[in-house]
Structure 1
Amino acid sequence: MEEYDVAVIGYGPTGMTLAALLGQRGHRVLVLERYTGLYNLPRAACFDDEVMRTFQKLGLSEEIGRGAVVQRDYDWINADGETLVELTYADPAPCGWAQLYMMFQPHVEDVLDRHDKALPTVSVRQGVTVTALIQDDAGVTLRGTSEGGGDISVRAAFVVGADGGSGFARRVVSEAVEDYGFQENWLVCDFRMHRAVAGLPMFRQVCDPAQPTSIVRIGPHHHRFSFMLNPGETREEATRPGRVWDRVARYLTPADAELIRAVNYVFRSRIAGRWRQGRVLLAGDAAHEMPPFLAQGMCSGIRDSHNIAWKLDLVLTGQAHPDILDTYQQEREPHVRFITERAIELGRVQTMRDPARARERDARLLAQRRGSQAPEKLRFPPLSGGLVVNGGGLFPQAAVRAKSGSGLFDDVVGAGWCIVAATPGVLDLLTPMQRAAWERIGGRVAVVSPSSPDVSVPGALEDLSGTYAEWFAAHGAAAAVVRPDWYVFGTATDGGGLTALLGRLSRALEGRDVLVPS
């Protein structure tokens, strides 16, 4: 029987990214996908700087970027065309990339697909439906059927289900699913543009109670219109091409674009009660489904993959106890709940169908604009619990210079665990045993200062933009222990605090210490 380190069920962006991250580390990965080919139609519309940093880690940022466009603003207008809210997006954002990219998802998936299939340790089998998972102390047996009718039976040490909210893996891992009760019926229409159209909104929410509408460019050559369906409107009626062109006539004509898809979606908000059962984990929509109003569905799945990948790497290489896999849901679920709940709140504000309530909303938002009250920008919460002592936020990425050259921090320093210090002296108390343990998990050391790198200091970097000096000052820290997914395990004010942090990390990886945030 064929044996693998990890089997991934599902080959969307979540599964593709997980396979890529594990394959990059040399693990034997099998991907099983029930469809015979890629979906080749867009679903998600955008991704953020953290996701682009993940693509950077895979060496794919430039190629992915060719199918994406940096988005710098987002507006809401009311039925009268008045601007209610105007948001701007940073470039660069904390992860060193633009805060928002509008993408054509088939391009992203094509890039990931080619990358995965070129990795020598990754095997992708499409047209395979998994029908059974049988766990024992040593691994998981997966059984299924192929498109040609043959049976398959393979073994993996761990399995990750990334096959969606209605997929096989969720039914195996979690019978309990919490439903927020937020459901909306929408028509999503995608167009391939023939030419530029003057006045076509790039990213806009039309808060019209008669017809809530979202207008989004999805990559360099495509555009999306989404319409909240009216009560009683049928799928057949809504998706009829003539009806679609009537809806977009204010913005587009058939001379401007080709309609490539019109589909009726029901947006749901559900979270599985359990994301791990022994050697089987859930990721992406299999673990959580959220409405699209914050455009974080795909991003959340890729964050799941990154969180799982480095922890599985430690377990598979014998550097960590399997119990650290429990920290996956501990860390990711609160983050996902925050995004889901905010997306629901936002959706309810944007899609009010009651004219009187919509007028009240408009008056409130217009008053805020007249008073020059900038809309509050959404900030995702830091991770807490799990493998976090203090901090829990994302460590920034900016341009640095080493003696070998300059570039973005991750490219210069490399991937994996990293101790980032503001001064070299904070490292002096590390014992030889701690340094050896750090090297075993692939840990790196960087010393970032405002001046040119001191060639006598290992890991010395020049902070070209002052980003790291600002970060250390804001956190009152002299050193940070940064995880492979760039979330901060903990900060220290001196060498003694740093050695204590590494001691706690060592005990946690051995399964001897349950971390409690300080």
Structure 2
Amino acid sequence: MLNNLRFDKFEVIIVGAGPVGVLAANLLGMKGISVLLVDKNPEVLEIPRAISLDQDALRILQAVGLSEEAMKNMPLISCVEMISPIGGVLAKINSSGLVNGHPRLVSFYQPDLERLLRKGVERFESVCFLTDCLYLEHSQSDLGLSVKLKYNEVVKEFSASYLLACDGAHSSIRTNQGWSLQGSSYKEDWLIVDIDGFSESMEKVEFFCNPNRPIAHVPGPQGSQRWEFLLRNKETRNEMENPEKIAELMKPWSKALAGNLQRKAVYRFHAKTANCMGKGRVYLLGDAAHLTPPFAGQGLVSGFRDAFNISWKIAAILNKEASPKVLESYDIERRPHAKKMIRLAVFLGSIIMTRSKIAAILRDLLFKILLYSPLKSYLTDMRIKPLNNFNKGLFLKKERFRNTILYPGTTFPQASIKLENGTWDWSDSLLGSSLAIVGYGNDPMLVLNEESKTIWKRLGGVMIYLSDQRIKSVVEDCTCFGEDVTFFFQNIFGKKNRFVIVRPDRIIGAAFEAEQADEVIKKFSNLYV
């Protein structure tokens, strides 16, 4: 109960314990930040909602030490097909293989993921979690925040330095801040049907681009599958959720009729972004910040990226490693990227939801032409999906290499590495949750002068040395070596005596040669003060 809490002051209060809120609590707990996580629901909602994750989300789960456990119940999705009754298969998008050590696309059961994330929070004594607790209001000043919460009819105020709104599409915190969601809502509604009990697994997503009634068919975990049916004109919620109507719609998939109905619901999809994702001491994450149509499978993933982006920045401020101004980069970095993902989902939706037969014929013809053009890879290899890269933000854009993939504002890749004890791990385990200077072919400790080392220590940074030879390479307290490590990093760095600054969210902060090292460290530190 609230009146039995040991503290009435926390460094961060998170409202909303869905996957995004609990992920943020895990990330902050790893840095020793005192967190109060609250949710109005007494338990995890036992219904499937979000159903797919990509390699970015899985890499973030890896960062909090939960990816291995999570992947036990996340089957791979090998491809995404768009099928027309007129032109046949319009596109077959390959989603198999690994990117940065993780599958490109998996399905999952959201309640199971939420339980895993909540179990993860139990690892941190600095995190307090309250369910059946209602957010009422908040106020802020230069000195901090005051947040009113209600639990069992008891109202109490808590102090905090920062408030994270993970309270969903109808966010009360966003409303109290005077911010709003801007964008559009689809005029059409969709019936979503989740059924489990299948003995055979399904490894592909199918979009049936039929102008008579567009349908999406998505595999789920543990023998479950999802269907989404676009409502026609004058069809109502009550009519579509009727068991007889559902049985009629499911006839083409007769095996599904023998399964167990997990959920039936009519939804209207939205494509909206908050006009401000955060300022001062209050920040919006997940659905509170942006609403994404499901056609690109990026709704929850965008929320995960929000949490990964902002958590390390808040921790750096509270641990006296950075000034509050670094949080200005959260909106600058995340809002444009969230909009890109929304635009992708809207574009895919426009292809899938075409209701005009003439437009469908023209669409099919265009796709057939594209499949024989240089743009084919955008349809077949997921190149149409925007990378998690930024044009502006907390990095030194001018510091970059030519002829490599290592650009500030882009994601630093991950490789499999062999540790000194002979075991294999992923390179992110060396980066940890701190700023890192990664040197290829030269040890940062031998390149930086004493002033630069002092600056880097003040920022809480670590240094990592990757040898350009097939010999063991000392990496602070770890050692990595092996031919595949050398080959991988040789290819991405291009040549030795090159260095990058990698942020805790795996975004490259700067890229520089050995002779630039001290100058770059000073420039980068100026972003933090």
Q: Same fold (TM over 0.5)?
A: yes
Q: Counterparts of 1:291-440 in structure 2 under 5 Å?
A: 291-369=293-371, 374-376=376-378, 377-381=383-387, 382-390=389-397, 391-405=408-422, 406-424=424-442, 428-440=446-458
Moved more, 11-20 or 428-437: 428-437
Q: TM-score, normalised by structure 1?
A: 0.92
Residue 189 of structure 1 corresponds to 193
Q: CA deviation at 1:210?
A: 0.7
For the residues of structure 2 that align with 1:102 and 1:20, how far apart are their CA atoms? Answer: 22
Matched-pair contact (CA < 8 Å) for 1:46–1:100: yes
Residue 514 of structure 1 corresponds to none
Residue 287 of structure 1 corresponds to 289
Taking structure 1 as reference, are residues 427 and 118 closer, same or farther at Cα in structure 2, changes over 3 Å only?
closer
SS at 1:2 equivalent: coil
Q: CA deviation at 1:413?
A: 4.5
For the residues of structure 2 that align with 1:371 and 1:385, how far apart are their CA atoms? Answer: 33
Within the alignment, does 1:75 sit opposite 2:81 as a pair?
Answer: yes
For the residues of structure 2 that align with 1:335 and 1:456, how far apart are their CA atoms? Answer: 36
For the residues of structure 2 that align with 1:140 and 1:453, how far apart are their CA atoms? Answer: 52
* Match 1:61 to one of 59, 67, 72: 67
Within the alignment, does 1:495 sit opposite 2:510 as a pair?
Answer: no
Residue 492 of structure 2 corresponds to 471
**Structure 2 unaligned residues grouped into runs of 5+:** 1-6, 398-407
Encode CA deviations 1:453-504: one digit per residue, 9 max, x unaligned.
4456756633625332221129x98211100000111111x12323222112
SS at 2:103 equivalent: coil
Matched-pair contact (CA < 8 Å) for 2:213–2:229: yes
For the residues of structure 2 that align with 1:370 and 1:456, how far apart are their CA atoms? Answer: 49
Q: CA deviation at 1:125?
A: 1.0
Matched-pair contact (CA < 8 Å) for 1:8–1:30: yes
For the residues of structure 1 that align with 2:257 and 2:292, how far apart are their CA atoms? Answer: 35
For the residues of structure 2 that align with 1:412 and 1:482, how far apart are their CA atoms? Answer: 11
Residue 96 of structure 1 corresponds to 101
Q: CA deviation at 1:367?
A: 3.5
For the residues of structure 2 that align with 1:252 and 1:8, how far apart are their CA atoms? Answer: 45
Residue 3 of structure 2 corresponds to none
Moved more, 462-471 or 206-215: 462-471
SS at 1:384 equivalent: coil
Matched-pair contact (CA < 8 Å) for 2:441–2:497: no
Residue 400 of structure 2 corresponds to none
Within the alignment, does 1:119 sit opposite 2:117 as a pair?
Answer: no
* Match 1:156 to one of 160, 170, 183: 160
For the residues of structure 1 that align with 2:12 and 2:471, how far apart are their CA atoms? Answer: 41
For the residues of structure 2 that align with 1:254 and 1:46, how far apart are their CA atoms? Answer: 20
Q: CA deviation at 1:183?
A: 4.7
Q: Counterparts of 1:126-275 in structure 2 under 5 Å?
A: 126-146=131-151, 148-196=152-200, 202-253=204-255, 256-275=258-277
Matched-pair contact (CA < 8 Å) for 1:398–1:409: yes
SS at 1:154 equivalent: strand
Q: CA deviation at 1:218?
A: 1.7
For the residues of structure 1 that align with 2:239 and 2:265, how far apart are their CA atoms? Answer: 11
Matched-pair contact (CA < 8 Å) for 1:195–1:257: no
Moved more, 443-452 or 219-228: 443-452
Matched-pair contact (CA < 8 Å) for 1:477–1:491: no
For the residues of structure 2 that align with 1:491 and 1:118, how far apart are their CA atoms? Answer: 35
For the residues of structure 2 that align with 1:56 and 1:457, how far apart are their CA atoms? Answer: 20
Encode CA deviations 1:322-369: one digit per residue, 9 max, x unaligned.
111111001111111111112111111111000110011112213433
Between the aligned residues of both structures, percent identity stands at 25
Q: CA deviation at 1:220?
A: 3.1
Matched-pair contact (CA < 8 Å) for 2:188–2:230: yes
AA in 2 matched with 1:310: W
Within the alignment, does 1:443 sit opposite 2:450 as a pair?
Answer: no
Q: CA deviation at 1:89?
A: 2.0
Matched-pair contact (CA < 8 Å) for 1:85–1:375: no
AA in 2 matched with 1:294: A
Encode CA deviations 1:138-193: one digit per residue, 9 max, x unaligned.
211111322x2222321111100010121211112243432245454111111112
Taking structure 1 as reference, are residues 28 and 229 closer, same or farther at Cα in structure 2, changes over 3 Å only?
same
Taking structure 1 as reference, are residues 181 and 413 closer, same or farther at Cα in structure 2, changes over 3 Å only?
closer
For the residues of structure 1 that align with 2:316 and 2:442, how far apart are their CA atoms? Answer: 28
* Match 1:13 to one of 19, 31, 42: 19
Taking structure 1 as reference, are residues 72 and 157 closer, same or farther at Cα in structure 2, changes over 3 Å only?
same
SS at 1:428 equivalent: helix
Q: CA deviation at 1:51?
A: 1.1
SS at 2:122 equivalent: helix
Taking structure 1 as reference, are residues 456 and 178 closer, same or farther at Cα in structure 2, changes over 3 Å only?
closer
For the residues of structure 1 that align with 2:376 and 2:168, how far apart are their CA atoms? Answer: 37
Q: CA deviation at 1:396?
A: 0.5
Matched-pair contact (CA < 8 Å) for 1:270–1:288: yes
For the residues of structure 2 that align with 1:136 and 1:303, how far apart are their CA atoms? Answer: 28
Matched-pair contact (CA < 8 Å) for 2:441–2:468: no
Q: CA deviation at 1:298?
A: 0.4
In the TM superposition, structure 1's runs of 4+ consecutive aligned residues that sit over 4 Å from their partners are 370-373, 455-460
SS at 1:42 equivalent: coil
Matched-pair contact (CA < 8 Å) for 1:102–1:218: yes
Taking structure 1 as reference, are residues 357 and 273 closer, same or farther at Cα in structure 2, changes over 3 Å only?
same
SS at 2:98 equivalent: coil
Q: CA deviation at 1:386?
A: 1.9
RMSD: 2.2
Q: TM-score, normalised by structure 2?
A: 0.90
Q: CA deviation at 1:372?
A: 8.8
For the residues of structure 2 that align with 1:295 and 1:386, how far apart are their CA atoms? Answer: 25
AA in 2 matched with 1:383: F
Taking structure 1 as reference, are residues 456 and 144 closer, same or farther at Cα in structure 2, changes over 3 Å only?
closer
SS at 1:285 equivalent: helix
For the residues of structure 1 that align with 2:520 and 2:195, how far apart are their CA atoms? Answer: 52
